[in-house]
Amino acid sequence: MNGVNGGVNGHSELGLERGCWTIGLINAQFKYLTAETFGFKINANGASLKKKQIWTLEPSGDGDTICLRSHLDKYLAVDTFGNVTCDNGEKDVGSKFEISISPSGGRWALRNVARGYFLGAGSDKLSCTAKAPGDAELWTVHLAARPQVTLRSIGRKRFAHLSEGQDEIHVDANVPWGEDTLFTLEFRDDKYAVHSCNNRYLHREGKLVSTCGRDCLFSAEYHGGFLALRDSAGYYLSPIGSKAILKSRSQSVTKDELFSLEDSPPQASFVASLNARYVSVKQGVDVTANQDEVSDDERFQLEYDQSTKRWYIRTMKDRYWTLETGGGIQANGDKRSSNALFDLAWQTDGSVAFRANNGKYVGTKRSGHLYANCDTVEDTCKYFFYLINRPILVLKCEQGFVGYKSASSNKLECNKATYETILVERGEKGIVYFKGQNGKYWHSDGESVTADTDTPEGFYLELRDPTRICIKGVNGEYLQANKNGTFRLGDNDFETATKWEY
pLDDT tens, 206-221?
999 999 999 999 999 9
Hey, is 169 helix, strand or coil?
A: strand
- Of the three residues 372, 387, 402, the one that is the final residue of a domain is 387
- Of the three residues 387, 415, 435, the one that is the final residue of a domain is 387
Do 336 and 435 have their domain in common? no
Q: Domain for residue 40, yes or no?
A: yes
**Per-residue pLDDT band at 18 (split at 50, 70, 90):** low
Question: Taking residues 436-447, what's their average pLDDT?
Answer: 91
Of residues 5, 500, 2, 12, the one with CA closest to residue 303: 12
In the chain, pLDDT over 90 holds for what percent of residues?
A: 70
**Per-residue pLDDT band at 445 (split at 50, 70, 90):** confident
E strand intervals along 3-137: 21-26, 32-35, 42-46, 55-59, 66-69, 75-78, 84-88, 97-101, 108-112, 118-121, 126-130
- 239 strand-pairing partners: 246
Q: Domain for residue 4, yes or no?
A: no
Spatial CB neighbours of 56, under 8 Å, sequence gap ≥ 6: 16, 20, 21, 22, 23, 68, 69
Q: For residue 123, what pLDDT is reported?
A: 66
Q: Domain for residue 134, yes or no?
A: yes
Question: Taking residues 277-303, what's their average pLDDT?
Answer: 95
For residues 409 and 333, which has the higher predicted lDDT (pLDDT)? 409
Number of structural domains (the chain) is 4
Q: What is the overall mean pLDDT for the chain?
A: 90
Do 242 and 302 have their domain in common? no
Give the C-alpha separation, 397 to 182, whole Å. 21
pLDDT tens, 358-417?
999 999 999 999 999 999 999 999 999 999 988 888 898 888 889 999 888 999 999 887
Do 70 and 82 have their domain in common? yes
Give the C-alpha separation, 93 to 271, whole Å. 57
Radius of gyration for the chain, computed over Cα atoms and rounded to the nearest angstrom = 24
**Per-residue pLDDT band at 335 (split at 50, 70, 90):** confident
Q: For residue 63, what pLDDT is reported?
A: 77
Q: How many CA atoms lie within 13 Å of 410's alpha carbon, on the beta-carbon side? A: 14
The three-state DSSP-derived secondary structure of 264-312 is: CCCEEEEEECCCCCEEECCCCCECEEEECCCCHHHCEEEEEECCCCEEE
CATH (domain of 314): 2.80.10.50
Query: What is the residue range of 186's domain?
Result: 148-263
Do 162 and 226 have their domain in common? yes
pLDDT tens, 211-270?
999 999 999 998 888 999 999 999 999 999 999 999 999 999 999 999 998 878 899 999
Most confidently modeled range among 103-112, 117-126, 272-281, 461-470:
272-281
Q: How many C-beta atoms surround the C-beta of residue 126 within 10 A?
A: 20
Do 189 and 275 have their domain in common? no
Q: Domain for residue 213, yes or no?
A: yes
- Of the three residues 120, 143, 166, the one that is the final residue of a domain is 143
Question: Taking residues 1-28, what's their average pLDDT?
Answer: 55
Q: Domain for residue 190, yes or no?
A: yes
